[in-house]
Amino acid sequence: MKLTQEQLDQFDRDGYLFFPSLFSPEETNGLREEVPRIYSQDRIENIREKGKDSVRVNFAAHLYSEPFARLGRHPRMVEPVKQVFDEDVYMHQFKINGKAAFDGDIWQWHQDYGTWLNDDKMPEARSMNIAIFLDDVNEFNGPLMFIPGSHKNGALEASHDVSTTSYPLWSISNDNIRKLVDQGGIVAPKGPAGSMIMFHGCLVHASGSNLSPWDRVAVYLSLCAVSNHIRRFKRPGYIAHRDFTPIECLPDDCLINPYPVDLPWKDGTPAIEKQGLQEAA
Ligand code: SIN
Ligand code: MN
């Protein structure tokens, strides 16, 4: 999939592109059906909502689940990112966010590059976020909200919030959010399962809680330009990957046909990947 000049201009202006129904129901069904099996496993990669059993975020499923290993190499997702960066990319982070019906908690206003810079020492914001909806997203089940154009400000001041939710985040102050929203407003792309969003690492985003009876499972992948790999391994390897091998795409029908994939963490997470390290290897 190649982006048109108009799409490239739109991405530069707004900081995101929305592709409704990019993947068919046949392609997303196999992914969605795999999620309960992953969430029910007793693995370190499953982080639950504060005081609840519902999974907030699962990490690195592309290393131990076949359908997600194939998604991680899907050309419809990888090729546009390579086009924008004009370089090969590796998987910096792979998440399946639950945002479960009734239980799904907020994600505070933040930029992902804030974390990549402050925790991982990623040199530049040359890592792209991709969101792929596995459930329909509507105005009630906690859609992702963006401040269009906010990526133009680069890395903003952020503070490390370790208490609001079960997952620590470098979040942006309410005063700064007010100013940014005065300029750019807020949008919340909504659409059927199989829709994809591509968004800039500096785009300010958040989501509210899910009080609806509908789950809002979405996969978030961060694809980093290989030369821009992280320089610090403070976070565990299952959260911020340390393997900078360029992603090799599978054929476009890889979510329908069972192309063979490696699953290196199928029998468990290597001990070294469970901890932060003082020095990058
Ligand atoms: C994120 O910002 O990483 C996740 C936001 C969400 O799932 O709503
Ligand atoms: Mn984020």
* CA of residue 202 relative to chain centroid, distance: 13
Rounded Cα distance, 205 and 100, in Å = 19
The Cα-based distances of 135 to 4, 25, 69, 146, 269 in angstroms read 27, 10, 19, 19, 28
Q: What is the pLDDT of residue 281?
A: 61
Give residue-wise pLDDT tens across range 75-112: 999 999 999 999 999 999 999 999 999 999 999 999 99
- Indicate the number of domains in the chain: 1
Closest CA to 234 of 275, 272, 276: 276
264 within some domain: yes
Index of the ligand 1 atom closest to the CA of residue 220: 3
Nearest residue (CA) to ligand 1, atom 1? 107
Mutate which of 134, 144, 222 for ligand 1 pocket (most atoms within 8 A of beta carbon):
144
Kindly indicate the confidence band of residue 38, based on its pLDDT and cuts at 50, 70 and 90: very high
279 within some domain: no
The Cα-based distances of 245 to 14, 98, 168, 225, 241 in angstroms read 30, 28, 27, 10, 10
Q: Distance from the CA of 110 to the center of ligand 2, in angstroms?
A: 6
Residues 95, 248, 235, 37: is their CA dihedral positive or negative?
positive
> What are the structure tokens assigned to 89, written together?
């990319």
127 within some domain: yes
Order of strands across the sheet that contains 205-207:
144-146, 205-207, 107-110, 169-171, 159-161
Count of beta carbons in the 10 Å neighbourhood of residue 43? 17
Nearest ligand to the CA of 215 is 1
Range of the domain at 133: 5-274
281 within some domain: no
Q: Which residue in the block uniquely carries the two structure tokens 């131990």? A: 64
280 within some domain: no
The mean pLDDT of the chain is 97
Q: Distance from the CA of 56 to the center of ligand 1, in angstroms?
A: 10
95 within some domain: yes
Give residue-wise pLDDT tens across range 206-244: 999 999 999 999 999 999 999 999 999 999 999 999 999
Q: What is the pLDDT of residue 279?
A: 72
Q: Which one-letter DSSP state was computed for residue 129?
A: E
Kindly indicate the confidence band of residue 9, based on its pLDDT and cuts at 50, 70 and 90: very high
227 within some domain: yes
What's the mean pLDDT in 171-187?
Answer: 97
Q: Distance from the CA of 180 to the center of ligand 2, in angstroms?
A: 17
The CATH number assigned to the domain holding 153 equals 2.60.120.620
